A and B are shown apart, each in its own frame.
Chain A
Amino acid sequence: MRCFVGIDLGSTTTKAVVIDEDERLLGRGITNSRSNYDVACAIARAEAFINARFALFEEALAEAGLEEDRRTSLAKNLLLSFRKRQHLVQHDALAQTMMGLLEDTRYDGLRSELSHVLSTIIEGMSADIPDLFAPGAKRKSDFFRDVASSSFMRRAEAVRSDEIGFDVLMGLFDKSIIQVENSELDISFESNIRPALEEVLETKSGELGAEASRIQEALDRVAAIDLECVNSVGTGYGRTKLPFRKEQIRSEILCHGLGAHWMFPDTRTVLDIGGQDTKAIQVDSQGIVTSFQMNDRCAAGCGRYLGYIADEMNLGLHELGPLAQKSKRQIKITSTCTVFAGAELRDRLTLGDKREDILAGLHRAMMLRAMSLLARSGGVDDEFTFTGGVAKNPASVDALRKLVRENYGERTLNISPDSIYTGAIGAALFANRDAARAEATPCGAEQ
């Protein structure tokens, strides 16, 4: 199967998607952007291919006649088991790396004690794994670093001593995790899916019975599909850091425009609010950008602003919107300056204003900034598509909807659940179109 990959290297996360020749979205992958862009890019891409295989696998199960609830539950369990296997591979690598670091001369004198403590921690971390990947278990994040570090810290806290302090242990962990993240371990679909399926079948063999063989066959078929990466295109904040040729790189503006058009073909105006910048884009009926504006040097009104507010209020980012929606008496906030956000907030709270009322005002102030960028770019035409992390915040969406209605009249407002992948999708579409008209560069052949 001919595939095309789009990668969006954002300031906080790196996203990758795979599409086929008919511009069908096959898979998505996301990872945290790290210092090593090559690795972030490789991991996001690998994730997208894994995600594609799983999607294809579900299709194959449907063809094999499995009922929907069965398919869903099976796929869910299989994914958990697969993730666990991936985790184990990385866990082993981490354990090995940490133990290996003990050879350093700086640990002379401490080595045997340290080795003992570390082994205890690693054992404990191994013991944590099954629960982490049990059905229904809640993980803080899907990134190995996050999961491993919280497990490590908990275990280390329990065993540290006067001789071997917490900071020594964390130092070892930090050093090792970077090495593990930056090494390309075999966590591929091909290598890990069969043992994962075996595990699922083992525990579920009673329920599955005769279906087991059909499931096996379906998996074999999917594993045998050659997902050939014909061309890939990169975009995003860090796109110039991608190991791509110049022709393989597209501006975020173009990718967001085309991605939004792909998601909602009647889109004429796109607003994207990410962590670091805000973009207002106008596209024509083909998704071609006709004009655009980005926020000026001042990052007021970007996602980062909400981050500061959340920190200041000691709330999770996702809690801000719902809290603001509870407001009955919105307060007028004049400054969306990130630098002054904290001070203004404290001042308001001291004055006795309610948190939700202040937050409602802040969300409106933030959307006012977006409105001015939209106006600069040419206004808000029907249909209007809102993308980026901030599109997930319901209070922002409410404020935006209201302002758009007041200033431009009724507009269809589109928000896709895949919104975070808009740029990557646009990039993948360019990869497909470029391949049709010019030379292409398969994945891995970039450098």
Chain B
Amino acid sequence: MMTTNTGRSLEDILEFAETLYHDAALSSVRDWKKTHPGRIAVGSMPVWAPRELIHAAGGLPVSVMGGGDDVEIIKGDAYFQSYICHIPRSTIEMGLNGSLDVLDGMIFPSICDVIRNLSGMWKLLFPEKPAWYLDMPQSFDEIGRSFFRGELLRIGKEMGELAGHEITAEALKESIAVFDRNRALLERLQEHRLNRPWMFPISEVWSVIKAGGFIPIEEHNDLIEEYIAAAEASGRPPIDNARVILVGSFCERPPLNLLRTLERSGCYVVDDDLSLGFRLIRGSVGAEGDPYQALADAFVERSREAAFLYREGEKGKELVARARAAHAEGVLFCAPSFCDPALLDQPMLVEAVEKAGLPWTAFKYAENTGQFQVIREQAGTFADSIKLWSVA
């Protein structure tokens, strides 16, 4: 595989990542398709999708994360009532305005009823392209593993048909290995961030992570390595910020400016659930034996705690553990308005966080929120109070 050049400066890397962040028309995907004729590009909604399958079919996995604050909603609002979150509106908008034409298919994972129903809307609005609904298992045992293997096998078979050739076990194993490397690099990035958050601001870290949804995974692997090296070399000095962990932004994305606002108000975001899908499976999937089974097993056995996965009894345990590991001094619950999974989960998580004696605060956003004054004040007060506490 060709690697991108390693000499890019931090500024260049960030400009590259941010351009991708704001590229609602998916020009990077268009370029890729031009240079890779006959290959497929397949989009997936948050949170998790088996990108390995798309890769193994010779295709480009693409994140469809709504339009953020870059897409003006003209048609999308006609499809959704005011009490439904924002991401499906901008996604429909992008579907109708041609931005997503470049995609040969879409995957809709089972994370909530809105995205679930969006899969059916997609079938009605764009019948010429496959729209896969991926039912993630909620039975975290042998039964779930076997069901999920079947789900992956079904999608893999149809993906192969779309690509024009069957996905071989060998190809899938190779793809898993490339994605395992991606997972390992993201884990490394996380460690660096924990150790020196002043060198790895959340707004940067996330645009680098998110870039993986728009370029080939091999390039993304290089990008992460380059970024880690460049950020470490930046020599940015630490300042007296509070270390916090961000929870609830795993689907509809917060505006980049919201994250910058948090930083400017005195918070180091040392852990988060942004682009959670890329980091949902802990450790490696591994390439032993049946690759479909390996993927299913990894998902069922090693997924991080998430609002859309059923948890019995131990809600919030993992969040508290992560906060401890990150030496976080507080928790920011930052969920999109009308997000059922995040908002229904929140009181349970709050309970666990309170029990652990961690301070917390909560606010809501939409992907196109343009006003951060209230959040600035709230996060600022929160950071100040944490600092006061730690002095006392």
Asked if B373 is an interface residue, CB under 8 A from chain A, the answer is: yes
Please state if B371 and A369 are interface contacts (CB–CB under 8 Å): no
- Chain A residues whose C-beta falls within 8 Å of the C-beta of B369 in the assembled complex: 334
Chain B residues in 8 Å Cβ range of A373: 78
Q: What is the CA–CA distance of A45 and B77 in the complex, to the nearest angstrom?
A: 40
Judge if A138 is at the interface, Cβ distance under 8 Å. Answer: no
A372 within 8 A of B: yes
Structural contact, A407 and B82, CB atoms closer than 8 A: no
Distance from B338 Cβ to chain A, minimum over Cβ atoms (Å)? 12
**Taking the complex as formed, is A347 at the interface, i.e. its CB lies under 8 A from any CB of chain B?**
yes
Interface locus among B68-76, B162-170, B225-233: B68-76
Cβ contact within 8 Å between B371 and A335: yes
- Map CB proximity to B onto A331-344 as digits: 1 under 8 Å, 0 otherwise: 01111000010011
> What separation, in Å, do the CA atoms of A30 and B90 have in the docked complex?
43
Q: Is A74 an interface residue (CB 8 A)?
A: no
Interface flags, A399-420, vs B, CB<8A=1, else 0: 0000100110000000000000
Check: B81 CB closer than 8 A to any chain A CB.
Answer: yes
A344 touches B370 (CB 8 A): yes
List CB contacts (< 8 Å) of A292-306 with chain B. Answer: 296-298, 300
Q: Which chain B positions have C-beta within 8 A of A375? A: 75, 77-78
Q: Are A296 and B81 in contact (CB under 8 A)?
A: yes
When distances are taken between beta carbons in the complex, the residues of chain B under 8 Å from A347 are 371, 373
Interface residues of A in 336-362 (CB under 8 A from B): 340, 343-344, 347
Do A407 and B77 touch across chains, with their CB atoms under 8 A apart? no
Residues of A within 8 A of B110 (CB): none
Interface string of A372-408 (1 = CB under 8 A from B): 1101100000000000000000000000000100110
A153 at interface, CB cutoff 8 A: no
Q: Which residues of A lie under 8 Å from residue B371 when comparing CB positions? A: 335, 340, 343-344, 347
In the complex, what's the smallest C-beta–C-beta distance from A53 to chain B, in angstroms? 47
B368 within 8 A of A: yes
Indicate if the CB atoms of A368 and B74 lie closer than 8 Å: yes
Contacts of A407 in B (CB 8 A): 74-75
**Complex: A371 Cα to B77 Cα, angstroms:** 9
Closest B residue to A374 using CB positions: B78
A161 to B370, CA, bound (A): 52
A406 contact set on B, CB distance < 8 A? 74
- Whole-angstrom distance between the alpha carbons of A406 and B74 in the complex? 10
A267 CA to B366 CA in the complex, in Å?
38
A344: nearest chain-B partner, CB-CB: B371
Known A-B contacts A297-B82, A332-B370, A335-B371; A368 and B69 likewise in contact (beta carbons under 8 Å): no
CA distance A412 to B135 in the complex (A): 48
Among residues of A, the one whose C-beta sits closest to the C-beta of B367 is A334
Report A279-321 residues with CB < 8 Å from chain B CB.
296-298, 300
Determine whether the beta carbon of A334 is less than 8 Å from that of B368: yes
A368 and B78 form a contact (CB under 8 A): no
Instruction: Name which of A298, A334, A340, A373 has the most chain B CB atoms within 10 A of its CB.
Output: A334
A interface, over-half SS: helix
B residues in contact with A296, CB < 8 Å:
81-82
B41-79 toward A: CB 8 Å interface, digit per residue (1/0)?
Answer: 000000000000000000000000000010011111110
Verify B370–A335 contact, CB threshold 8 A: yes
Q: Quick one: which of A333, A340, A372 contacts B78, CB cutoff 8 A?
A: A372
- Distance to closest chain A CB from B90 (angstroms): 11
CA distance A344 to B82 in the complex (A): 19
- When C-beta atoms are compared, the residue in chain A nearest to B82 turns out to be A298
A300 and B77 CA atoms in complex are apart in Å by 13
- Docked Cα-Cα span, A332 to B72, in Å, equals 9
Assess the A343–B373 pair: CB atoms within 8 A. yes
CB-based contact A369/B77 at 8 Å: yes
What B residues does A344 contact at CB under 8 A? 370-371
**Who on chain B is nearest to A361 by CB?**
B370
A376 touches B368 (CB 8 A): no
Docked pose: A136 CA to B212 CA in angstroms: 71
Q: Is the CB of A368 within 8 A of B82?
A: no
A368 & B73 in contact (Cβ 8 Å cutoff):
yes
Contacts of B370 in A (CB 8 A): 332-335, 344
Residues of B within 8 A of A335 (CB): 370-371
Question: Chain B's nearest CB lies how many Å from the CB of A446?
Answer: 38
- 0/1 string, B325-358, CB within 8 A of A gives 1: 0000000000000000000000000000000000
Complex CA–CA separation, A163 to B374 (angstroms)? 49
B74, A334: Cβ atoms under 8 Å?
no
Q: How far is the CA of A365 from the CA of B238 in the complex (A)?
A: 42
Chain B contacts for A343, CB-based, 8 A: 371, 373-374
Chain A min CB distance to B370 (Å): 5
Docked pose: A407 CA to B93 CA in angstroms: 12
Q: A371 to B76, alpha carbons, bound, how many Å?
A: 10
Given the complex of chains A and B, what is the CA–CA distance between A403 and B82 in angstroms?
21
Contact string, B170-201, partner A, CB cutoff 8 A, digits 1/0?
A: 00000000000000000000000000000000
Chain B residues within an 8 Å CB radius of A297: 82
A298–B73 Cα distance when bound, in Å, is 17
Q: Given the interface contacts A334-B368, A347-B373, does A403 sit within 8 Å of B74 by beta carbon?
A: yes
B300 to chain A, nearest CB (A): 40
Give every chain A residue within 8 A of B76 (Cβ-Cβ): 372
A252 to B380 Cα, complex, angstroms: 50
Q: Which residues on A sit within 8 Å (CB–CB) of B74?
A: 368, 371-372, 403, 406-407
Roughly how many angstroms separate A89 CA and B369 CA in the complex, as a whole number?
Answer: 56
Report B-chain residues with C-beta under 8 Å of the C-beta of A368.
Answer: 72-74, 77
A340 — which chain B residues lie within 8 A by C-beta? 371
Q: Chain B residues near A298 (CB, 8 Å)?
A: 82
Q: Would you list which residues of chain A between 49 and 72 have a CB under 8 Å from chain B?
A: none
Give the chain A neighbours of B78 by CB distance below 8 A: 371-373, 375-376
Q: In chain B, what residue has the closest Cβ to A293?
A: B78
B77, A372: Cβ atoms closer than 8 Å:
yes
Closest to B77 in A: A372
Most buried by B among A297, A369, A371, A372: A372
The docked-state distance in angstroms from the alpha carbon of A399 to that of B72 is 14
Docked CA distance A334–B255 (Å): 12
> What residues on B are CB-neighbors of A403 within 8 Å?
74
What's the Cα separation between A296 and B374 when bound, in Å?
Answer: 27
On chain A, the residues within 8 Å of B72 by CB distance are: 332, 368
- How far, in whole Å, are A268 and B72 apart by their CA atoms in the complex? 27
Residues of chain A within 8 A (CB-CB) of B82 are: 296-298, 300
Chain A's nearest CB lies how many Å from the CB of B6?
38
Give the distance in Å from the alpha carbon of A340 to the alpha carbon of B82 in the complex: 15
Q: Which residues of A contact B366 (CB under 8 A)?
A: 334
Q: How far is the CA of A369 from the CA of B77 in the complex (A)?
A: 8
Given contacts A298-B82, A344-B371, contact A334 B69 (CB under 8 A): yes
Q: How far is the CB of A347 from chain B (nearest CB, A)?
A: 5
**Chain A min CB distance to B344 (Å):** 22
**Nearest CB on A from B373, distance (A):** 5
In chain A, what residue has the closest Cβ to B81?
A296
Can you sample 28 A-B contacts with CB below 8 Å? A296-B81, A297-B82, A332-B69, A332-B370, A333-B370, A334-B366, A334-B370, A335-B370, A335-B371, A343-B371, A344-B370, A344-B371, A368-B73, A368-B74, A368-B77, A369-B77, A371-B74, A371-B77, A372-B74, A372-B76, A372-B77, A372-B78, A373-B78, A375-B77, A376-B78, A406-B74, A407-B74, A407-B75
Sample of 9 more A-B contacts, CB < 8 Å, known A297-B82, A332-B72, A376-B78:
A296-B81, A333-B370, A334-B69, A334-B366, A335-B370, A368-B77, A372-B73, A373-B78, A403-B74
Residues of B within 8 A of A (CB): 69, 72-78, 81-82, 366, 368-371, 373-374
